[in-house]
Structures are given as C-alpha cells and as structure tokens.
Amino acid sequence: MSQTGKPRIAVIGSTNVDLVTYLKRMPKPGETIAADSFAMGQGGKGANQAVAAAKLGADVVMVGAVGEDAFAGTTLAHLAGYGVDVSHIRRALGISSGVASILVDPSGENVIMIVAGANGTVSADDIRDASADLMTCDLILLQLEIPLAAVYAALEFGKKHGVKTLLNPAPATPALDPEKVNLASFLTPNETELAILTGMPVETETEIATAAKTLIAKGVGTVIVTMGSRGALLVEAQAVTHIAPVKVSPVDTVGAGDAFVGAFARYYASGLGVVPALKKASAYAADSVTRRGTQDAYATEAEFDRICAAPTNG
Ligand code: RIB
C-alpha cells in the first residue's frame, strides 16, 4: 500500500499510439477495401494496464520509454492525466514512439501490427534506475512488448526484493525462457500463450488445467488462464477454479486483456482475495469491450462501482 492507503502498482512495459481502422470485414492479402472510420488513441499493453489500475483508484508508477516524435509528449500527458507517475518513462532519442496499427471488424474482433520503437530500448538499466520506487510497490506488472532481457530483470528484481510480480505473456513469443517465467508470482496467459509456453494441448478446460499445473510445478505461484468468452481458469497448486464470463455484446475487444490485468492488480493489491479480484477483473474487462478504444474506454472507479451495483450484476 502507498502512504495514501491506496494499492501501489508498478507497470514495466510498453506505450503505443494506436491507429485504429474500423471496417466491415478484414481484407484478404493483396486486397484494397474502403473502411468505415478511423480513430487515434493511446495504447500499448503496459500503458493500458497502468491506466486501468489508475482509473480504478490505484497509485501507479510506470517504467518505460517514449520516442523522439510528436507522439511522445501526448503519451506522457495522457498517462499523467490519468494519475500515472511517468517520472520513470524515459525519452529515447533518434527513434519513434511505439505505434500499433489496428483493424477492428463489426464483431469486435481485431488484428494488430506493432512497431516497438522506443519500447525496444527498455532495459535492465531502467529497472535499476527505478528500483527505489519499485520496492515500495505491492505488485509489478509485466508484458512482452519490451525486450525479454528487461522482463527477466524485473522478474529477478521482484524475487530478490520480495515484491510480487505478474507476467502477462502477451504478445505470445516462443523466445520466452520458461525458466525465467517460473520466477513470476502470477502468470496470465491466454490459451495460445499457454500452449506455446508448455507445448501441451489446450483444447479443453482439463487440458488447460493440466498444462498450467506443469508451470506451477516448476515454480510459478499462480496461473490465471484467460479464455475470452469462456471466462478464466485460476490454477493453483491445490485447486482449479473457473471464473465465469460476464456476457456482453462486444463492439471493440482491443485492450480487454489489459483491462482484466489492470483491474485484477488493483483489487488483489488492495487486499481482496484472488477469486473476488478475478471476478472484478472479469466484469471490468467485459464492460471495456462495450465501447470503442482502450484507455479512454475503461471505466473509472465510480463508474465501475455503479456497474457492479446494478441489479443485473448483483
Ligand atoms: O492489448 C492491446 C494493445 O496491444 C493495444 O493498445 C496496442 O497498442 C497493442 O499493444
């Protein structure tokens, strides 16, 4: 907890500018199609998670990098506007900020192409420079849009200093070292990421639980497998718990996983148990897909409290 009594969360990760095109259907290779509309927003898995937690009332510090371009100042101002401490977001010279080109179809499905830009310069040095602040945090959140060496350094930092870590292994990469992953207190893969991490089948919930348990056997504290419209599976050493999905009609699913992680971190770090925190996270992520965009679409704490109190959610 911070001195203000709020849960204190660190995010070590990416900031992107999201260039989003909304279209009727995804184009085929070589095809040109007219799209319906375009929007520019703030994204990046790290920044999205930071903003979700901050909008829900957590004290959030972010470690990362922006580039030397017009996007950098906007990104920093946007994060600071949501109350995120940006003093450990470095300006990398001679390189662009992170950019994500995103296509969204009417069902809310998406494809995303990212240019790492400055995110690719985040290193163990950034973690060392922020170490005094990181040591005051209840939980450190990590994703895979920064170099793996920085992610490993953060996992090692958390282990060494007794600060819990949550690794969201997205976007999936076979380069992720399973030995380093085992340092995480929480791991939040989706089914695809779990399959890549374990090399095991993940079609059924039984297979998912079996695969996740192999990670627990190797040292991961808790595995939370996100299964989209099927909800989530919490896999611990002694128990497997299904977290039911919250049914909504999605219009844009971009950033839903980040809303889930940011909300889980905020509620878990404030002392709620893992299962109630996951139920909150599930409701928060479901709400986020009912609006277009990512950070600006996430509910504030007051809005989310009203959503949770509504009779249909009781
Ligand atoms: O998880 C969604 C995010 O992935 C987007 O905001 C985009 O920036 C990419 O990083």
The tens digit of pLDDT for each residue in 53-92 reads 999 999 999 999 999 999 999 999 999 999 999 999 999 9
Which position has the token pair 């703030």?
42
In the block, residue with structure tokens 């870590």: 165
Does position 314 have pLDDT exceeding 80, yes or no? no
Residue nearest to atom 6 of ligand 1 (CA): 43
Instruction: Locate the ligand 1 atom nearest the alpha carbon of residue 257 and give its number.
Output: 1
For ligand 1, mutation pick of 19, 21, 45, 122 (most atoms within 8 Å of CB): 45
Cβ count near 195 (within 10 Å): 18
Q: Hunting for tokens 């971009």 — which residue is that?
A: 254
Neighbours of 210 (CB within 10 A): 16
Q: Which amino acid is at 106?
A: P
Determine which residue's CA is closest to atom 10 belonging to ligand 1: 44
From 48, 97, 115, 141, mutation site for ligand 1 pocket: most ligand atoms within 8 A of C-beta: 48
CA angle 250, 252, 256 (to 5 degrees): 90
* CA of residue 56 to ligand 1 center, whole Å: 19
Q: Does 3 score more than 90 pLDDT?
A: no
Q: What percent of the chain has pLDDT over 70?
A: 98
In the reported structure, the alpha carbon of residue 294 is separated from the centroid of ligand 1 by a whole-number distance in angstroms of 8
List all residues whose CB is within 6 A of at least one atom of ligand 1: 16, 18, 43-45, 48, 100, 112, 114, 145, 254-255, 257-258, 294
Phi, psi dihedrals of residue 298, rounded to the nearest 5°? -70, 145
Q: Which entry of 126, 252, 258, 287 is annotated as an active-site residue?
A: 258
Domains observed in the chain: 8-14+48-64+122-309 (3.40.1190.20)
Mean residue pLDDT of the chain comes to 95
258 is catalytic: yes
> What is the best residue among 99, 101, 103, 145 to mutate for testing ligand 1's pocket, by most ligand atoms within 8 Å of CB?
145
> Residue 312: which pLDDT band, with cuts at 50, 70 and 90?
low
User: What's the pLDDT band for 5 if we cut at 50, 70, 90?
Assistant: confident
- For residue 79, the CA-to-ligand 1 centroid distance in Å is 15
Which ligand 1 atom lies nearest to the CA of residue 48? Answer: 6
The answer to whether 307 and 283 have CB atoms below 8 angstroms apart is yes
Residue type, 126: D
As to burial, measured by CB atoms within 10 angstroms (0-12 exposed, 13-18 middle, 19+ buried), residue 129 is middle
Give the N- to C-terminal CA distance of the chain in Å, as an integer.
28
Atom of ligand 1 nearest to the CA of 145: 10
Output the CA torsion 94→47→5→263 (10° steps): -170
pLDDT for 2? 63
- Among the atoms of ligand 1, which is closest to the Cα of residue 17? 8
The residues, any chain, with a CB within 8 Å of residue 81's CB and separated by 6 or more, are none
Tally of residues, the chain: 314
Radius of gyration of the chain (CA): 18
Does 215 score more than 60 pLDDT?
yes
Atom nearest to 295 CA in ligand 1: 6
With 60 as the cut, is the pLDDT of residue 313 above it? no
Which DSSP helix (H) or strand (E) runs through 261?
A: helix 256-269
Per-residue pLDDT reduced to its tens digit, 187-197: 999 999 999 99
182 CA to middle of ligand 1, Å?
A: 25
Quick check: 43 and 255 in contact, CB under 8 A?
Answer: yes
- Mean pLDDT along residues 118-122: 98
Residue of minimum CA distance from atom 8 in ligand 1? 44
As given in the structure block, the two tokens for residue 309 are 């109190």
